[in-house]
Structure 1
Amino acid sequence: MSAPYIPLGGVRVLELTGGLAGQIAGMLLADQGADVIAFRDRAAGDGIHAVVDRNKNIVAFNKDCPASETDLIELLSGVDILLLDGENTVQSCAHGKLLGLAQKHTGLIVSRISAFAESDGFGAAEKVDDGHIAAMTGQFTDVHLLRQLFGLDPVYTPLPLASVYAAVHAVTASVLALNERDRSAVGAKIEINRLGSALSAMTSMYQRIEPQAARYDTPRLPIALRSVALPIVRKLAKSGGDARQEKLLTIARQSYPALMSSYVCADGQLIYLFAVDNIKLTKAVIRLLALEDVLSQEGFVVLDPYGAGDRRDNLAESSNLSRKRQGLLKKLIASALAEKESGYWLAAFRKVGVPCAIQQSTEEWVMDPMNLEAGLMVDVRDVFHGPVRQPGVQCWINGADEELTKPEPSKEIQFEHLKRWRPTARDSETVLSRKGRGLSEWLDGVTVLDLSSMVAGPVAGRTLAEYGAKVIKVEPPNPNHGPRMTCWYGMDVNPGKSSVIIDLKKAEGLRVFEDLVRKADVIVSNHSATASGRLGISPERLQALNPKAVICRIGAFNGPKRGEWDDYTGYDPVLQAASGIMTRYGNPGAPDLHAIASCVDALTGYSAVFATALALRRRMKAGQGSVADVSLAAASSLVQLPFCFSYPGRQWVEPSGQLAKGKGAFSGLYACLDGWIYVGEQVTAIQDLPQEFRVASDGTCFERSRLQKIFRTKSFADIRHAFGEKADQVCQVLSVTAAMQGEGSPIAGRMQTAMVAGLGKLIWVCPDYLRSDAGALKPLVPAVKPGSSTMEMLGNLDIPNLDDALKTGAIAVEIHPDFLPL
């Protein structure tokens, strides 16, 4: 009997990290079977180390390095991946030596996570925390869909988005570098920056299309409200304090579409629905709530939004309903849902495939029995905290050792025990070439079929294209999603891809698709298990057609263990509701959406690429295809990892609510004379403040409001100057628009512009999150019009009888004559 498959079995990782990003990266590698040794200060901490250090061997250290140069040389000779960031105490000793010695090992992969790219001009600013990145990129101003529009103050979000995205980018690049090393015997020096990692998930927020029809405004507001009322509201928001901010926010929340909102059920629980701009889901909601007749009487219609054009009465494109109709629809849905308890509606909506979730806290999400049963949560016994409930693995490959889904607590070892890592051969007998390829060629020759819709799956396809894969986006001829989701967001998530339209519901269309599958290396899909079987594209069928193909499945609530949850549908906002992200960002009575895509969706897409890289490694070594799974649910836990665990006696103290301004008494958001500033987490005591800002002689007497009064009288430049050597702890809070245009902004230099035929002027941000000594990621050309590559791409792949397929509608060359349907 063959040994269980371990995706990173035999891979040795030396982790010298002190920041969250590097520690998560080490955890993700260890979760897949890598042998990870981490240098760490073994303090009990707040429990986060019980999560990020699981499956690792820990070497305790102090500031005096116990290792000689000879020890380090011998250690590095047995290492495959050296994982670094700029925040480890060990830098004062071993870190510097290792960086120099690493240059001598051509087969070593060095993955280093930093705050900025060298081109950003910030130097070695390694004490920059995720709050600084959030302030620079518009997270405190624009993540909430309505605050910036209504002129409300910035709000603090504690989610470590930059670090979590950077961690997944780091492990993905490391695994792909391992695969490349097996081909060429050449290692790589990889640099991942957190600023670019954050931007990689915020690209839709930075996208501009000029001219753009009002149909694609978010939110869609009447001209009078936008041009007359909003300027008045913005003026009112500048005075009146927190009470006025809360009142205006309550008014602003009314702008959310009815089919993208929370409703109170008979038991007082809130249930969140997400069926916006989807004709199939809209019909399901209307039927279930028995609203067909009343909506028809009120003049609502349900029409194909591609053929009907821009209408303010079309339920199939409910984000564009008139303000009056939006209010009426909300009232009708609220009345219906108030009749029964939340559990009834949850089951009823799930039965008809409508994405929904009961709003709950992160603590409730962590302790949800379904998550434990699905393997989305696991219990690990920690030496300091006892049993710690925490997120399970981020991705899982079919046939992998089941023990990988049961993480072990960390083990402490002595430095001398590292000598077990003896120098090893680099699989020289399997080397195909002694010349390494550029970073943008690591997936050269890999053909990807992207069957997914919305954001997570297409982001995975876009990222694979950045590494050099040939990605073919497969669209249906009559999408359930409206033009906003398919066409406008498509410009963001589909650059670098060709686009074909195939009707999988027709026998001839399925035949064409099966011909594509036989020629593909990777297939990305977000269809549920039931939907895949119904369409004839189940993993079993795809593997029968191409046994070596990697099938990457993106689910909603699924985990490593199978169950009824595999067919629960969901989108980013639904998992925000279920996992407590909305409740933390708002409050239990009024949860708030934490961005529509730049949260769970993007992370799920990056996790899918990590899973695909692992599966490609298996194919390279064993000649075997795999089914690689990820889910929105797993990503929703990882993106809030500092809050997403529990142990006996844990105090659930978190920055929360729409008035939140920071984590501690000193760090966080402050208004100043010329805007808003963010003070970093390194400012932890009064002694860290400039003398002129020390408003009390000891921390116990300190009041944040007193410091705020002082800052209001100072300009940003004056405050930063006063901080002297700690000036890098103070930065301006920028909106997305200010970041795009601001002089000296590192983001302004990343903006790109192109004229796209049939569309107009396209403005977008190039994240530039990853570089290596093997070059940069592949620059991607703007997305093409859906279906415009159908005949050329299928012809180049020698798919037979294309003309006949076109005549029968099995394939098509466009969804709509316009790039963005008007």
Structure 2
Amino acid sequence: MTHRPLSHLRVLDFGHYLAGPMVGMMLADMGAEVIRVDPPGGPRWRDPAFDMLSRGKRSLVLDLKTQAGRQAALDLAARADVVIENFRPGVMERLGLGPAALRAANPGIVTLSLPGFASADPEFAGLPAWEALIAARTGQFTDMGLNRRLMGINPSFTPLGMASAYGATFGAMSVLFALGARDRNGGEHIEVPLASALFEGLVYNSEQVQDYPERYKSPREVELDRRAAESLPMNLPFEDLWPLLDPFYRTYTCADGRGFYVVACSIKGHQRRALAVLGLHDLAENLPDFDAYLDRADWPADWALRNFPVGPKDRARVAGAMQAAFLTRTSAEWEALFGAAKTPGTAQRSTAEWLGDPHALASGLVLEVDDPRHGRMRQMGNLAWLADDAGAMVKRPGPEPDDLRPDLAAILAEPPRPAPVVAGPATGWLEGLRVLDLTNVIAGPTIGATLARFGAKVTHVQPVQPSVDPWNAVVFGLQAQRGKESVLLDLGREAGRAALDRLLAGADVVTMNGTDAQRDALGLAPDRLAALNPALILVQLDAFGGPRRGPKSDHLGYDDLAQAATGVMLRFGGGMETPEEHAHFGTIDVLTGFCACVALGAALERRRVTGRGGVARAALAAAGEMIQAQFMYDFAGRGPWNEPSGRTAQGWDVFYRCYRASDGWMFFAAPTERAAALSRVPDLADLAEREEDAGLASALSQRFAARKVVDWATTFAGGSAGIVPLGSLHATRDAALHIESEGPLDIRHATYRAVRHDRHPMGRWVDLVAPNAVRPDKAPITLPGPAPKYGAHTRMVLEGAGYAQDQIDAMIADGVASESWSARYLPE
């Protein structure tokens, strides 16, 4: 274990709370030497979650307000590779430890800053970076999903640390990519505003398509449109949502009373498999099934089995038959049957149940650590890992205070890191990297789309006959396939496999989303790839894979199934009787793609040092743990599982929650100052002496309701407490919208940026979040153009692989290759 993927790196971690420490943990989990720099008196956040995030690190106490402390930090930086911090903008500069000072001490150092909002943003830079303030201002708590909108529940609060999770993965991947480019670019400073990262992570929730075809709207969206058009109230009871849920995309009750979540929509064959497992063969044979890529005007029936959603005349009878079948067995029995049949489904579990799940423990998705403070402690496992890294399953607990002190002299006796020799202007971190992308839907394609912004050349390979319906492939692909070339090949035929092998031989990276069995069936078994191209890196993500095999490693799954399995749905819905998918499309999908980029960053670092490729891994279930990092642990004597949950949640407590002002909703955050924050405000000072009980919440509600949001925000400005209006993702997008045809987009001076692709090959404009979460000082970021039509580059890619034009013609004529799935970019 002396030669782990990142064991050659030293990292100084000045992070506190979630985002910064999470970056440090991810790097330590892959072998980096991470030194946590604590202030006198110890860490600011004393919590079991922080102990988990500190695993594998060592601690050094430095008083950065003294010259000696600052000098010690600079001396360490001279002998380090990376510095992480998530202070408010300007703090490190005031301490004499800003990027310029650190680079003067070490020209090759990579520094990462994780502020709440962009440091160059004149409107938001001064806001405190509390997780919920970021979420509220970005729009995470408003219009929280179709269910909540139909029920008239707005706003909704969730304790999930999504901004920190997205920001940490962007930060970790950026550090690793920048390290790989040091010989070209030298040292680098990177800023990742957490609000920008959150906005990108929730990109599918603000995607807007001109004249969006009705065929892609779910029954809940249709009902929302109807109620709005007829001026009807949004007051649907939870139990009345049942008829509006797609039969292949919902929770069913089993014989043991536990919910079982099914996601078998839109992927060819999954619906039939689900009905077959349930014994509903006759029903399956009597449902319409035809090409999902036909325009609706050409459909021979009012819906197709391989399309989402199920048509209105069949929805109730399909759902009713499936519910009746589920009631005949327990959830555990169905989970085994669905898994064996390669049909996506899972039992609903709480977070506590997931931490004790046999598969989670066997696979390493959950680890047991002997913690000096809490004893035997179950924790979330690696969020990104390399398949052959045995150390991924072994975790050192968090450090005792100042445990590095005895070894400090030896570290400072090391020579400083040599300065890199840089010739020419800075280039994209991944310039020249050749990526083959074999993924579909959201999580997998997110990898390639993310790599493209850093300069990688990404070629997306899909089948000649689509296995995914247009909603998942084309509508989601508007975002997920930006910046890529597109080629269609039949990999089920020898000639198609031969073409893929040619592409693999010249590639650096190949990505795929699927289980080990699916990977090997595609011809991507690690041994085969190593023989074909020893330096090739396979990036693989799946639902329930881990560093080791477990009983559910080959179970299929999607975002919602990871939510159900790891406790997100029960937390959001409030319990087993009312589970709800978390309100945002791609909550876990996008995050898993980012985690896979972190794993790739580690694989590229290892390849740079050793020359060998390998397999970089991530999993949806691991990302489901990551967004619950604040409470993803268990041990004897743990406190109650009483985090905010359910439809009525408004915050954690009276000092960290949503309130209504005279002109709208806002979020008030004073989690550390608490009553002291009130004492400085004349209109609230008398409440500072009140007991922290329900009466105080009521009194504060009355006071806050008397004035406008902007007045309260101004009153609390400048301190560690803060107030922001509750934004919406759509409003955030519209306020930050740039028209693509009007010229280049500046991504550096605003927290939020979005692009209207008004010359899109689809023939409709589409609004998407701009890729601006990562802001390097030196390396350029590529702003990708619109996603191409599937198959648009088939001829060009095959020609680049060495095929002559007559060979390409023959391949297309024979169906081995294709240039299109349908006449239209987006079937209507």
TM, length-normalised to structure 1: 0.92
Of 185-194 and 480-489, deviating more is 185-194
2:497 equivalent in structure 1: 510
1:101 correspondence with 2:101 = yes
| Structure 2 contact 88–116 (Cα < 8 Å) conserved | no
Letter matched to residue 672 of structure 1: A
CA-CA distance at 1:50 after TM superposition: 1.7
Letter matched to residue 601 of structure 2: A
1:402 correspondence with 2:400 = no
| Structure 1 contact 8–34 (Cα < 8 Å) conserved | yes
Q: How far apart, in 1, do the equivalents of 2:231 and 2:676 lie?
A: 40
2:761 to 757, 760, 782: 757
Letter matched to residue 195 of structure 1: A
| Structure 1 contact 500–790 (Cα < 8 Å) conserved | yes
1:164 equivalent in structure 2: 165
Q: How far apart, in 1, do the equivalents of 2:769 and 2:465 lie?
A: 30
Q: How far apart, in 1, do the equivalents of 2:234 and 2:811 lie?
A: 60
Percent identity, aligned pairs only, is: 28
1:766 equivalent in structure 2: 770
CA-CA distance at 1:347 after TM superposition: 0.9
1:242 equivalent in structure 2: none
CA-CA distance at 1:63 after TM superposition: 7.2
1:627 equivalent in structure 2: 615
Call closer, same or farther: CA 1:143–1:49 in 2, change over 3 Å: same
Call closer, same or farther: CA 1:79–1:367 in 2, change over 3 Å: same
Q: How far apart, in 2, do the equivalents of 1:132 and 1:347 lie?
A: 42
Q: How far apart, in 2, do the equivalents of 1:523 and 1:596 lie?
A: 28
Q: How far apart, in 1, do the equivalents of 2:423 and 2:629 lie?
A: 39
| Structure 2 contact 163–194 (Cα < 8 Å) conserved | yes
Q: Deviation per CA, 1:419-478: give whole Å up to 9, x if none.
A: 3223446578xx7x6237536x21111110000111111001111111100000111122
1:484 equivalent in structure 2: 471
Letter matched to residue 521 of structure 1: D
Q: How far apart, in 1, do the equivalents of 2:524 and 2:76 lie?
A: 47
Q: How far apart, in 2, do the equivalents of 1:227 and 1:18 lie?
A: 44
Q: Deviation per CA, 1:292-323: give whole Å up to 9, x if none.
A: 424655xx312231247476743524533333
SS of corresponding position for 1:562: coil
Call closer, same or farther: CA 1:203–1:68 in 2, change over 3 Å: closer
1:207 equivalent in structure 2: 207
Call closer, same or farther: CA 1:214–1:264 in 2, change over 3 Å: same
1:191 equivalent in structure 2: 191
SS of corresponding position for 1:86: coil
Q: How far apart, in 1, do the equivalents of 2:800 and 2:634 lie?
A: 54
Q: Deviation per CA, 1:626-660: give whole Å up to 9, x if none.
A: 11111111111112100111121112120100110
Call closer, same or farther: CA 1:557–1:407 in 2, change over 3 Å: farther
1:730 equivalent in structure 2: 723
Q: How far apart, in 1, do the equivalents of 2:542 and 2:327 lie?
A: 30
CA-CA distance at 1:404 after TM superposition: 5.7
Alignment of 1:700-719 (within 5 A): 700-701=692-693, 702-719=695-712
Q: How far apart, in 1, do the equivalents of 2:231 and 2:244 lie?
A: 14
Alignment of 1:263-662 (within 5 A): 263-294=252-283, 300-307=287-294, 309=296, 313-317=302-306, 319-402=308-391, 405-412=394-401, 413=403, 415=405, 417-422=407-412, 423-424=414-415, 426=417, 434-435=422-423, 438=426, 441-588=428-575, 589-595=577-583, 597-651=585-639, 652-662=641-651
1:14 equivalent in structure 2: 12
Call closer, same or farther: CA 1:233–1:515 in 2, change over 3 Å: same
Letter matched to residue 769 of structure 2: V
Call closer, same or farther: CA 1:278–1:578 in 2, change over 3 Å: same
1:240 equivalent in structure 2: none
Give unpaired runs (5+ residues) of structure 1.
238-246
Q: How far apart, in 2, do the equivalents of 1:138 and 1:144 lie?
A: 12
Q: How far apart, in 1, do the equivalents of 2:729 and 2:70 lie?
A: 47
Q: How far apart, in 2, do the equivalents of 1:572 and 1:347 lie?
A: 19
SS of corresponding position for 2:465: coil
Q: How far apart, in 2, do the equivalents of 1:734 and 1:250 lie?
A: 29
SS of corresponding position for 2:450: helix
Q: Deviation per CA, 1:516-572: give whole Å up to 9, x if none.
A: 111111000112222222333322222221111001111211110123422111111
Call closer, same or farther: CA 1:30–1:669 in 2, change over 3 Å: same
| Structure 1 contact 150–230 (Cα < 8 Å) conserved | no
| Structure 1 contact 151–234 (Cα < 8 Å) conserved | no
Of 91-100 and 699-708, deviating more is 91-100
Q: How far apart, in 1, do the equivalents of 2:224 and 2:621 lie?
A: 36
| Structure 1 contact 374–558 (Cα < 8 Å) conserved | yes
CA-CA distance at 1:704 after TM superposition: 1.7
Letter matched to residue 13 of structure 1: V
| Structure 1 contact 258–318 (Cα < 8 Å) conserved | no
Alignment of 1:76-87 (within 5 A): 76-86=77-87
Letter matched to residue 77 of structure 1: A
1:60 equivalent in structure 2: 61
1:692 correspondence with 2:683 = yes
1:807 correspondence with 2:813 = yes
CA-CA distance at 1:742 after TM superposition: 4.2
Call closer, same or farther: CA 1:818–1:83 in 2, change over 3 Å: same
Q: Deviation per CA, 1:25-56: give whole Å up to 9, x if none.
A: 11111111111111225368220122111111
| Structure 1 contact 270–358 (Cα < 8 Å) conserved | yes
Of 491-500 and 284-293, deviating more is 284-293
Letter matched to residue 364 of structure 1: E
TM, length-normalised to structure 2: 0.91
Letter matched to residue 135 of structure 1: A
Of 800-809 and 278-287, deviating more is 800-809
Q: How far apart, in 1, do the equivalents of 2:726 and 2:185 lie?
A: 45
| Structure 2 contact 5–30 (Cα < 8 Å) conserved | yes
Q: How far apart, in 1, do the equivalents of 2:392 and 2:206 lie?
A: 42
SS of corresponding position for 2:23: helix
| Structure 1 contact 375–405 (Cα < 8 Å) conserved | no
Letter matched to residue 786 of structure 1: Y
Q: How far apart, in 2, do the equivalents of 1:165 and 1:703 lie?
A: 34
Q: How far apart, in 1, do the equivalents of 2:585 and 2:508 lie?
A: 27
CA-CA distance at 1:665 after TM superposition: 1.7
Call closer, same or farther: CA 1:292–1:308 in 2, change over 3 Å: farther
| Structure 1 contact 221–323 (Cα < 8 Å) conserved | no
Call closer, same or farther: CA 1:713–1:420 in 2, change over 3 Å: same
CA-CA distance at 1:134 after TM superposition: 1.3
| Structure 1 contact 551–626 (Cα < 8 Å) conserved | yes
Q: How far apart, in 2, do the equivalents of 1:102 and 1:591 lie?
A: 49
| Structure 2 contact 185–779 (Cα < 8 Å) conserved | no
CA-CA distance at 1:596 after TM superposition: 5.2
Call closer, same or farther: CA 1:218–1:679 in 2, change over 3 Å: farther
SS of corresponding position for 1:390: strand
Of 248-257 and 798-807, deviating more is 248-257
| Structure 1 contact 669–677 (Cα < 8 Å) conserved | yes
1:175 equivalent in structure 2: 176
Call closer, same or farther: CA 1:527–1:765 in 2, change over 3 Å: same
CA-CA distance at 1:211 after TM superposition: 2.3
1:244 equivalent in structure 2: none
The structure carrying a bigger helix percent of its residues is: 1
| Structure 1 contact 128–728 (Cα < 8 Å) conserved | no
Q: How far apart, in 2, do the equivalents of 1:663 and 1:416 lie?
A: 41
Call closer, same or farther: CA 1:158–1:233 in 2, change over 3 Å: farther
CA RMSD, Structure 1 to Structure 2 (Å): 2.7
Call closer, same or farther: CA 1:808–1:385 in 2, change over 3 Å: same
Q: How far apart, in 2, do the equivalents of 1:144 and 1:102 lie?
A: 44
Q: How far apart, in 2, do the equivalents of 1:781 and 1:230 lie?
A: 34
